[in-house]
């Protein structure tokens, strides 16, 4: 392993750096941790990228935000791949400068390409690093980061098979934003201008929205609206102006503070199956249809996530390659028939304790830094 720099000796007690970004899935678990960290008197800083989605998502949390450069870690050929190693090195030096300024006791990384320089800089400066992996199989940034970590938290036990040093692994689940449990149905319906006389269907196409899902929903709009009022989170720039004012169809580009109330208003959800969104839907006990991002444009993590819970009799899964108006309507019907069984099974899942488990690991790591360099328990 690379020779380490001098340790950050004069660290700030109860100081932590959170990192992760590139997509919302690498940020929402960090957001879920912020409140519980603040309640336990932690001083929180965030290191992300200059223009990443993480910057806008963290802005309202009233914590210091710092940016570093990083490589993209592309899995395909691009001339930019030749530049990325230099961006990574610059990012490591930038992160080192920031860490020596912030003096954290510990780093918590949620993955994504921007996390790698922060994790490496933390290791070189002898700051304990805790990593969280949400998916069943790790993403590339986390795979590269694992050797530098003191502890690796996972959402699923099956993820252990992808990690060489299993003594580092703690299966904790995925941190879930506490505010999601306090949504008000009436508020969600009011946002959309709907009433409580007709059930509500919430459609989510991921952080950027999905043209494929949007087209399938809008193509079967009248059939769906004969039974449901639809709240559709369609993605930036993907509003259909011809449908504005429809009495049973309400579209938003994106939901932030409204999301808890929109979840509360929904009786059934159609969604992508990124690990964090998936766990939030399960924790809220909402009947759902998952439409995983196609393996042609992803590493297949959403497919793995969704099919695991389909095998448990909880989720209805519709492959994107087979998505059209007819198959969407059929999947909604299957979800309706399975809803009572699915709810009972979701109620038995323990999905609310991840934040506390991670907090305990972070506090343990901080205490051990005070006394020694022993590995985290």
Query: What confidence category does residue 371 fall into, taking pLDDT thresholds of 50, 70 and 90?
Result: low
- Write out pLDDT tens, residues 146-177: 999 999 999 999 999 999 999 999 999 999 99
Higher pLDDT, 7 or 120: 120
Helices within the chain (DSSP H only):
28-39, 53-58, 84-102, 115-124, 140-145, 185-192, 211-219, 221-225, 259-265, 275-283, 301-311, 325-347, 354-371
Query: What confidence category does residue 206 fall into, taking pLDDT thresholds of 50, 70 and 90?
Result: confident
> Please, how many CA atoms are within 13 Å of residue 351, restricted to the half-sphere of its CB?
25
pLDDT at 374 over 70: no
Higher pLDDT, 351 or 313: 313
Single out the residue of 108, 123, 113, 153 nearest to residue 135, CA to CA.
153
CA 270 to chain CA centroid, Å, is 17
pLDDT at position 79:
60
Residue located via tokens 């979701």: 346
Both structure tokens of 85: 């190693």
Q: What is the spatial distance between Cα 156 and Cα 134, in angstroms, rounded to a whole number?
A: 7
Q: What is the mean pLDDT of residues 356-361?
A: 96
Q: Answer whether 0.85 is exceeded by the pTM.
A: yes
- Write out pLDDT tens, residues 191-205: 999 999 999 999 999
Q: What is the spatial distance between Cα 335 and Cα 323, in angstroms, rounded to a whole number?
A: 15
- Write out pLDDT tens, residues 27-37: 999 999 999 99
CA dist list (Å): 73 to 107, 208, 374? 21, 20, 32
CA dist list (Å): 252 to 58, 81, 226, 319, 320? 21, 36, 21, 24, 22
Query: What confidence category does residue 73 fall into, taking pLDDT thresholds of 50, 70 and 90?
Result: low
CA dist list (Å): 136 to 162, 349, 352? 9, 17, 19
Q: Which domains does the chain have, with CATH numbers?
A: 15-176+352-372 (3.40.50.2000), 179-347 (3.40.50.2000)
Query: What confidence category does residue 81 fall into, taking pLDDT thresholds of 50, 70 and 90?
Result: low
């Amino acid at each position: 392993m690379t020779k380490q720099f001098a340790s950050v000796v004069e660290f700030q007690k109860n100081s932590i750096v959170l990192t992760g970004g590139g997509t919302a899935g690498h940020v929402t678990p960090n957001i879920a941790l912020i409140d519980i960290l603040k309640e336990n008197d932690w001083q929180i800083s965030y290191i992300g990228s200059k223009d990443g989605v993480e910057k806008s998502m963290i802005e309202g949390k009233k914590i210091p935000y710092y940016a570093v450069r990083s490589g993209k870690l592309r899995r395909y050929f691009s001339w930019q791949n030749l530049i990325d190693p230099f961006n990574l090195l610059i990012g490591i030096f930038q992160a080192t400068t920031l860490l020596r300024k912030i003096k954290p006791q510990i780093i918590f990384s949620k993955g994504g390409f921007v996390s790698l320089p922060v994790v490496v800089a933390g290791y070189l400066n002898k700051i304990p690093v805790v990593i969280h992996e949400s998916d069943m199989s790790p993403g590339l940034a986390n795979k590269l980061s694992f050797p530098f970590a003191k502890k690796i938290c996972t959402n699923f036990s099956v993820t252990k098979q992808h990690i060489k040093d299993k003594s580092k692994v703690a299966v904790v689940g995925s941190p879930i934003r506490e505010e999601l449990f306090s949504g008000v149905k009436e508020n969600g319906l009011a946002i959309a201008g709907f009433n409580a006389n007709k059930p509500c269907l919430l459609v989510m196409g991921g952080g950027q929205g999905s043209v494929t899902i949007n087209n399938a929903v809008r193509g079967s709009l009248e059939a769906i609206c004969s039974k449901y009022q639809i709240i559709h989170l369609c993605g930036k720039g993907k509003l259909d102006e011809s449908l504005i004012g429809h009495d049973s169809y309400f579209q938003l580009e994106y939901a932030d503070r409204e999301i808890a109330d929109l979840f509360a208003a929904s009786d059934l959800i159609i969604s992508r199956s990124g690990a964090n969104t998936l766990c939030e839907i399960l924790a809220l006990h909402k009947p759902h249809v998952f439409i995983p991002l196609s393996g042609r444009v992803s590493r297949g993590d959403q497919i793995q996530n969704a099919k695991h819970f389909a095998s448990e009799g909880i989720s209805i899964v519709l492959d994107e390659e087979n998505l059209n108006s007819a198959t969407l309507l059929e999947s909604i019907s299957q979800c309706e028939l399975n809803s009572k069984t699915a709810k009972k099974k979701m109620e038995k899942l323990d999905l609310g304790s991840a934040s506390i488990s991670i907090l305990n690991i972070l506090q343990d790591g901080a205490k051990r830094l005070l006394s020694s360099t022993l590995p985290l328990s």
